[in-house]
Amino acid sequence: MIALPAGVKVWLAAGATDLRNGFDGLAALVQTHLAEDPFSGQLFVFRGRAGDRVKILWWSGDGLCLFAKRLERGRFVWPQATHGTVSLSAAHLSMLLEGMQIDLFVLDRLPQPLDEHVVDSQAYDSPRHSKAKR
């Protein structure tokens, strides 16, 4: 994986995204649906409807980068919410891209920006998480 700058913010876009979108389409989604600046240096991660593909949009300082990954088996863990974002650390992004189940109890402790577009990490669909909240 490409090394990310220290302190970079990673945002998962909740819900399914039409991954036929490229640089311009995803940058427009960042601006209109997430109310963020796609040229800010933050990473914006989108998942397709089937859940086996993701695209990451990132401004590297001199141009937009678009990364894609498809899992041969399984699905990427994603929030149940249909809109908004969830903030992740670069380490959690790395785990997500490896197809791992992210520890939701660690995510609960991540500082969340005060933003109307942020979805609580409790929106993740995980049997482990729902048992812990009972």
Q: Tell me the two tokens of residue 95.
A: 């785990």
Let me know if residue 1 belongs to a domain. Answer: no
More confident residue, 28 or 124: 28
More confident residue, 105 or 40: 40
The pTM (predicted TM-score) of the whole model is 0.71
Let me know if residue 4 belongs to a domain. Answer: no
Let me know if residue 22 belongs to a domain. Answer: yes
Containing structural domain, residue 24: 10-132
> Quick check: 43 and 82 in contact, CB under 8 A?
no
Collect contacts of 57-64 with beta carbons under 8 A, ≥24 apart. Answer: 57/23, 57/26, 57/27, 57/30, 64/23, 64/27, 64/38, 64/39
Let me know if residue 2 belongs to a domain. Answer: no
CA dist., res. 111 & res. 44, Å (int): 18
- Of 92, 94, 89, the closest CA to residue 67 belongs to 94
DSSP 96: H
Let me know if residue 24 belongs to a domain. Answer: yes
Q: Domain tally for the chain?
A: 1
Of 19-28, 58-67, 100-109, the least confident: 100-109
Let me know if residue 114 belongs to a domain. Answer: yes
Let me know if residue 28 belongs to a domain. Answer: yes
